[in-house]
A and B are shown apart, each in its own frame.
Chain A
Amino acid sequence: DAGVIQSPRHEVTEMGQEVTLRCKPISGHNSLFWYRQTMMRGLELLIYFNNNVPIDDSGMPEDRFSAKMPNASFSTLKIQPSEPRDSAVYFCASSPRDQQETQYFGPGTRLLVL
């Protein structure tokens, strides 16, 4: 079975540019999570979707960050405009309806904003 798929795996961009990160959850999973991992702050939950609806976005840092889930098999996390402090590894995770407490993580997108 394919796991959670994220693209791109690496992204280097300049400050002020728009960045879009993509995630395809495991087929059949109804919950999707976006996390950010940095040395200073560890792993932080950014946003949680259930059945494509954003349930908890309290972890989204500021208005420059937005996330969408137009259907059950695709989600995006957008940063506009990007800043150097956004440099981090961004993970997407999904969980199935019958095992809501277990999350399956993608390989992550390593973002560097210059």
Chain B
Amino acid sequence: AQSVTQLDSHVSVSEGTPVLLRCNYSSSYSPSLFWYVQHPNKGLQLLLKYTSAATLVKGINGFEAEFKKSETSFHLTKPSAHMSDAAEYFCVVSPLFSGGYNKLIFGAGTRLAVHP
């Protein structure tokens, strides 16, 4: 079965310091992997996606993630946090074979707090 585990439910950083949000996945086949962000009372916005091309994926707002097959990880990073990055972040896996369509399987989410 395909699944995704976000290792931290809450992460708190100071503005200007690096951000690391951790994600491990389980998939029988090479999956597509995504990070989505949800700001308070908003819908989900796609940050970046990995679909078996380059293992280091760059997304919007300075975020990037690295696909490591040997570690089954897809951690999200940003060199310098900004106050506007405070939000909930979801790691998502879409198995290659999932009944004929791209079903998204969401992690539980990591709430990122950024303080001055």
Q: Interface of A with B (CB < 8 Å)?
A: 4, 31, 33, 42-43, 45, 48, 50, 55-56, 91, 93, 95, 100-108, 110
Contacts and interface: CB of A to CB of B under 8 A. Distances in A.
Nearest to A42: B108
A95 B32 CA distance: 15
B101 A56 contact: yes
Interface string B96-107: 000111111011
Q: Which of A42, A55, A102, A107 has the most CB of B within 10 A?
A: A102
Interface of B: 32, 34, 36, 41-46, 49, 51, 90, 94, 99-104, 106-109
Q: Which 8 A-B pairs have the closest CB atoms?
A: A105-B43, A105-B44, A43-B106, A101-B102, A107-B43, A101-B32, A100-B102, A106-B43
Contacts, number: 47
B95 to A, nearest CB: 10
B69 to A, nearest CB: 18
Nearest to A31: B101
Nearest to A56: B99
A111 to B, nearest CB: 14
B34 to A, nearest CB: 8
Contact of B51 (A42, A48, A101): A101
A45 B104 contact: yes
Contacts of B41: 110
Nearest to A100: B102
Contacts of B49: 101-102
Contacts of A45: 103-104
Nearest to B42: A107
Contacts of B99: 56
Contacts of B94: 101
B102 A105 contact: no
Nearest to B104: A103
A56 B45 contact: no
B101 A100 contact: yes
B44 A56 contact: no
Contacts of A101: 32, 49, 51, 94, 102
A108 B43 contact: yes
Contacts of B45: 105
